[in-house]
A and B are shown apart, each in its own frame.
Chain A
Amino acid sequence: MTLKWVLHWQPNAGSTVNSQILSEVSQCVESINGVKEGRWRATLTFYKPHTREQSMVAEFPRDFLGILLPEQPNKYYFIIRGQRIVLEADSSIQTLMEKLQSYKTRVALHFDGFQYQLGDFQLRVGKVVPTHSENLRGIVMEVEYVPISSVEKARQIMEEFLDIWQEAVSKRSLPGHFMHMEPNFAEYGLTDHYTSQHTAVQYATVMAQLIATVQAVQSVRN
């Protein structure tokens, strides 16, 4: 397989993300010789339990997510962050869930954008928008180093790439920066060999971070 880091845009205190930043970031990728290849889209769904009694809701995990990744169109990934569970299932499980009606969609988000090739690196820059809306909620970026799949062995390479990337972005004086928070893969039962489950866990972590940021902004406003 390959190895991927998922980054998210952390706006500076007091500023929000907008599409201007997104286009600047895309130009930045091209300035380091990234070649635009095509579009990509991932979908993330927050689930809520379907119970008759409101009091029961609190007993179910609140952070139950489902993710559809473009590189694995036949799979669907479930994550319960609080309990560090990740599961890879066949994509037909979505039909099953609809039939069961035990969990319903609370909110669904799309990660939409373009894919770039940079030699042995593949980059994806995408905006975070809720389905049926054009409201830009955030920006995510995937940095993928294709030749090897060991999380540890590729760490130095990825860190250096991130340094190069941050340097390129900082030249544009944007109100914010990209952040990488590496989840503890071992807690999810994942090994050093990178898989799409690792990607799913990274997205779940990114979502938690985005939500925290939005909530922080809201609390400041209030």
Chain B
Amino acid sequence: MRPQQPQHQQQRQLEAAPNANPDPAQSGEAPPKQVALAMDRLGDAARLIADIRLGADRLLEALFVAAQPHQSTKPLHLFRKEDASMRQHLQDLRSVGRQLEESGVLNESLRSRSNSWGLHMPLVCPDGAVVAYAWKRQLAGQAGASAVDRTRLALKAFTDQKRRFFPHLDDGLDGQSTESALKKHCGPQVLMGNHQEELSDYKTISDVLLHLEKEVPTLKVFTYERLDWLKRASSLPSSANETSIGTSKEHNFHSSNKLRPGSLSPVATEKISVIELLFPSIFRAIVSLHPAGSIDPDSVAFFSPDEGGSYIHSRGFSVYHVFRRITEHAAMALQYFLGSRAETALHSLLHWICSYQTLFTKVCSKCGRLLLMDRKSALLLPPVYRPYRQFSALKISSTQPNSSAKDTSSDLAQAYHVGCFSEEA
């Protein structure tokens, strides 16, 4: 009932373990190994917490016994021993916690690098569950479910995640089309080389957003901390009683810059994790940054400007078909931008999102119409596809007034229906 000896051994092992890895195993360790280490440490933390609970029970018991009459010094002795072992447990827990923080599990300070294969460190969910990948929750075992059910659930969760985060893997022709696209665009690669300096200027969120606001004057940009966005999303009007858009609590990017000295409300740049792009009466796009304060986007979603509710976030889906389609397309565009040039991914993504301001006015570049019946879903949709493959290089170069940019800038402005879009475009 009271295995104290093995506990002390365990403590010594835990003390040894943190010292053996003075530098958290980020350098040179492959991401799956990091994930495995983090899972182990989380397990250790859980065991320590259990030990602390047991120790607390024993302390109470010792106190209770001491309160009884006719006791020797035995309870005092017990108390002292428990006190020592509790302090040891708490110290060990602190060091494990520090390790987990350093490896980015408990907070989001770790930048996900471009070679991390898109995998993030395991996160501790608000309900306390630990998620390495979402599908691991299923494999970890659900009480009462059979192995077959668990496997089926795991497979479903896994395919959903794969479709979401690796959409280009679904497309079997992807390898061929990227080759031909690369061959066609050797020219613009040279242009891109000339503008390396410009691109590297946009290193912070402020740079990116200020540049965006200058280029696209009809756009309204707002930034938020993650929880602040959830509050705002829930308070967005969703019915006919829409009051003026700019009244509720929001952090307009420009005004937050002006208010920064000595003000409590503006969002500190290092905490920004949600960017809202609003084209009034056309659409609202939500981009999430992970980790907070970085320029690494991790998800994007489009919504109607009149939608409101807690489902309005970068991983949510609009209730309207047109914006759902765009969101699916945007997920692929995001993966493309992250894969081709991760440092400018946010910049490219935001500019690409702005190309949708013509969603309800620009006709399809292939069939010349605005509405077309989509065969698969039997719905009438406007052109929801905007090409993204050649986007990153050419869009940046459109600020230069030379003839090749003029030719390509008309390419930029293309739009396609779902059925009119082909990879060779």
Using C-beta atoms within 8 Å of the partner chain, give the interface range for chain A: 20 to 34
A211 CB–B CB distance under 8 Å: no
A161 CB–B CB distance under 8 Å: yes
Decide: A119 near B281, CB < 8 A? Known: A147-B304, A164-B371: no
Contact B361 A156 (CB under 8 A): yes
Within 8 A of A (CB), among B295-319: 304-306, 318
Decide: A154 near B321, CB < 8 A? Known: A118-B380, A120-B379: no
Contact A146 B320 (CB under 8 A): yes
Cβ-closest chain B residue relative to A72: B240
How many Å lie between the Cα of A154 and that of B361 in the bound state? 8
B27 CB–A CB distance under 8 Å: no
Decide: A148 near B282, CB < 8 A? Known: A120-B321, A196-B240: yes
Contact B379 A148 (CB under 8 A): no
How many Å lie between the Cα of A174 and that of B423 in the bound state? 43
Decide: A195 near B240, CB < 8 A? Known: A33-B379, A153-B360, A160-B369: yes
A214 CB–B CB distance under 8 Å: no
Q: Shortest Cβ distance from B62 into chain A, in angstroms?
A: 67
Contact B281 A160 (CB under 8 A): no
Q: Shortest Cβ distance from A119 into chain B, in angstroms?
A: 3
How many Å lie between the Cα of A196 and that of B240 in the bound state? 8
List the count of A-B residue pairs having beta carbons below 8 Å apart. Answer: 68
Cβ-closest chain B residue relative to A149: B306
A192 CB–B CB distance under 8 Å: yes
B377 CB–A CB distance under 8 Å: yes
Within 8 A of B (CB), among A180-201: 192-193, 195-196
How many Å lie between the Cα of A150 and that of B218 in the bound state? 15
Contact A119 B369 (CB under 8 A): no
Contact B371 A33 (CB under 8 A): no
A107 CB–B CB distance under 8 Å: no
How many Å lie between the Cα of A146 and that of B322 in the bound state? 10
How many Å lie between the Cα of A193 and that of B237 in the bound state? 14
Q: Shortest Cβ distance from B304 into chain A, in angstroms?
A: 4
B323 CB–A CB distance under 8 Å: yes
Decide: A161 near B371, CB < 8 A? Known: A148-B305, A153-B360: yes
B370 CB–A CB distance under 8 Å: yes
Contact A148 B304 (CB under 8 A): yes
B424 CB–A CB distance under 8 Å: no
Contact A156 B240 (CB under 8 A): no
Cβ-closest chain A residue relative to B238: A1
Most A C-beta atoms less than 10 A away, residue of B321, B322, B371, B382: B371
**9 interchain pairs, CB-CB under 8 A:** A1-B242, A33-B379, A118-B380, A119-B381, A121-B380, A148-B282, A157-B360, A160-B369, A164-B371
Name B's A-contacting residues (CB within 8 A).
239-240, 242, 281-282, 304-306, 318, 320-323, 360-361, 369-371, 373, 377-382
Closest 5 CB pairs of A and B: A119-B379, A150-B281, A33-B378, A147-B320, A1-B240
